[in-house]
Amino acid sequence: MQSQTEAELWTSFRESIVSPNSHKPKLTSHEKRDMAQWACRINRREVFSRAYEPSVGEIQEVRRLFDEISDDSINQNEEYANEQQQPHSIVLKRSPVLIEPNSLSNGDGPRMSRAGSMLDLMDKVGKNECPERELILLTNHFVVVKLEWDEQNKHIVSKKMESCVPLLDVEAVLNLNVCSVTSRRPYPCDKLIDDEDEGNSLFDTNEFTFRVLTAPTQSYTFICSSITQRVAWFNAFQYAVIGAYTRTKDLQSSDNKFGWQHFIIRKDIFSAAVCGDEHMLRRCLCRENHIDVNKRDTYGLTALHYAVYYGNQECIEYLLHANADPNVADIYGKTALYYANHCKDCTTKANIEKILRSFGAKQYVNHLTELDEDELSLTSVKNWLSMWMFWVLHFFMCGSSHNPANQ
C-alpha cells in the first residue's frame, strides 16, 4: 500500500517535471528529507563488503519490494530469482524519474537502439512523451518500475517491474553534463567519431540527465526533476557499481584496465583522460566547473598520469598547457613520465616523453626533497648504509654489556 510520504514525493515530482512550469529551483521538505535518509544508507560503506550480512529488516524490505512490483509472470524472471537469493542485497535508493522512450522494453525484452540526442530528448520531456518510472537501486541490481497513476485522486494505483539489470552488467555511467559524444560510447578509444557527432559533442548536454550503458547498443537515460536529484542519483550509482565490482571481481587480474573505475564512472577529468576525450576534458576544466587540473584520486594519480598511460597525446598537451604539473607523484613516488613506459607504440612513447621533458618532467619524485631518479637512488643507498651501521653498533654494544668479563 502506498505510504503518505511516497504520495507526497510523487506529487512533488509530477508538479516539478511533468507540469508546464517544470524544473522548480528548490526541493520540497519531503524531497530533502527523503534524500537525506537515502544518503545515510548509501554512505554506510560496509554494505558493499563481502562480509556484510543484511539485517532482518533489510531482508524483509527487499522481499516486500519485489512482492509489490512483480506478478506471476515476472516471478519466472531469472534476474528476479537471482536477486531474491543474493545475501548482500539491500535497497540503497529509490525515487521517481522520467525515462527516455528508447530505454523502454517491448514484448521481446529491452530495445537495442541508439540513444537520441539531448535536444530530441528534452523536446520529448516538454511534450510529456517521456514516461514516468520509479528507479530502484540495490547492492546487486537496479530496477525500473512501471506504474499506473490515478490523476483524479493523485496517487499510484499499481506497480510492475519493467527491467532488472545486474550492476555487473553496467559498462558505464555517464554524466551527460560533461560527457561528449566520444565518451558516451561503450568503448570510446576504439571507435571513430562521425562529423555530425563531432559537431554536437560540445553542446549536446543536459544537467538534469544521466545515462547508464549496459550493452554496446543498449542504454537507460534517466531524467531527474532537479540538478540536486541528478547528482544524488549519479553518486549513488557510483558507490553501488564500484562496490559491486570490488566485491565480486578480481581487480588484480590482467583483464582489468588501469583506471577501470574512471572508465566505468565517467564524470570528471580522470574519465576524460582515460577515455581520450579532449572535448570532455575542456568541459571539465572550464571556469564554471572549477576543477583543479592537478586533482588526485585515491592512488595519488592525476589526469595527466592516466593520459600518459593510455598515450592520449591531445589530452596530454591540453593538460600541460592548462598548467598541469608533470612532477606530481602518485603514492609510490612515480610521476607521469614513468607511465610513458606503458605505451606499446615506440613512436608514441618517444613523442610523449619529449613533450613531458619539455615541461620539466622527472621520472621519480621524492616527496620530501624532490630529487630526480639518480639522486634518489644515491640517497637510498646512503640511507641503507646508515641503517646497517646502526644495527652493527647496536649488537656490538649489547654484546659488550652482557659479557661476563665486563662484570
The count of other CB atoms within 10 Å of the CB of residue 202 is 13
pLDDT at res. 298 = 87
Rounded-to-integer distance, Cα 104 and Cα 89, Å: 25
As a whole number of Å, the CA-based R_g of the chain is 27
**pLDDT 10s digits, 298-337:** 889 999 999 999 999 999 999 999 999 999 998 888 899 9
3-state helix/strand/coil string of the chain = CCCHHHHHHHHHHHHHHHCCCCCCCCCCHHHHHHHHHHHHHHCCHHHHCCCCCCCHHHHHHHHHHHHHHCCCCHHHCHHHHHHHHCCCCCEEEEEEEEECHHHCEECCEECCCCCCCHHHHHHHHHCCCCCEEEEEEECCEEEEEEEEEECCCCEEEEEEEEEEEEHHHCCEEEECCCCCCHHHCCCHHHCCCCHHHHHHCCCCCCCCEEEEEEECCEEEEEECCCHHHHHHHHHHHHHHHHHHHHHHCCCCCCCCCCCHHHHHEECCHHHHHHHCCHHHHHHHCCCCCCCCCCCCCCCCCCHHHHHHHCCCHHHHHHHHHCCCCCCCCCCCCECHHHHHHHCCCHHHHHHHHHHHHHCCCCCECCCCCCCCHHHHHHHHHHHHHHHHHHHHHHHHHHHHHCCHHHC
The one-letter amino acid at 376? L
Which CATH superfamily includes the segment(s) 260-358? Ankyrin repeat-containing domain (1.25.40.20)
CATH class of 4-248: mainly beta
Partner residues linked to 213 by β-bridges? 172, 219
pLDDT at res. 398 = 64
Domain ranges of the chain: 4-248, 260-358
C-beta of residue 47 within 8 angstroms of C-beta of residue 246: no
Rounded-to-integer distance, Cα 4 and Cα 155, Å: 9
Q: Could you tell me the three cell numbers for 346?
A: 615506440
Ranges under pLDDT 70 in the chain: 1-4, 17-25, 71-88, 104-116, 151-154, 189-204, 216-217, 249-256, 289, 364-385, 388, 390-392, 394-407
pLDDT at res. 34 = 86
Q: pTM of the prediction?
A: 0.79
**pLDDT 10s digits, 106-150:** 444 444 445 667 777 877 877 777 888 899 999 989 999 988 777
pLDDT at res. 254 = 43
Name the residue with cell 630529487.
371
